[in-house]
Amino acid sequence: MLGDLVYEAKGKVAGYRVLDIAEGPKIEVTISQNGTLRGGIEATDIVTYWSIPRPGGAHYAEGKGVFMIKDNPSETATWTGQGIAHYSGQKRRDVGSVFCTTTSTTGKLAFLNNLVGVFEYETDETGNSQGKIWEWK
Contact 24, 47 (CB under 8 A): no
pLDDT of the residue at 85 = 98
Contact 77, 110 (CB under 8 A): no
Contact 29, 16 (CB under 8 A): yes
- Res 111 pLDDT > 90: yes
pTM beyond 0.95: no
Tell me how far CA of residue 43 lies from CA of 24, 35, 68, 98, 117, in angstroms: 35, 5, 5, 17, 17
Separation between Cα atoms, residue 71 and residue 65, nearest integer Å:
19
- Res 73 pLDDT > 90: no
How many beta carbons lie within 10 A of that of residue 127, not counting itself? Answer: 14
Mean pLDDT of the chain: 96
Contact 91, 125 (CB under 8 A): yes
Is 10 exposed, middle or buried, given 0-12, 13-18 or 19+ CB atoms closer than 10 A? exposed
- Res 23 pLDDT > 90: no
Over the stretch 39-51, which tens digit does the pLDDT of each residue have? Answer: 999 999 999 999 9
Is 31 exposed, middle or buried, given 0-12, 13-18 or 19+ CB atoms closer than 10 A? buried
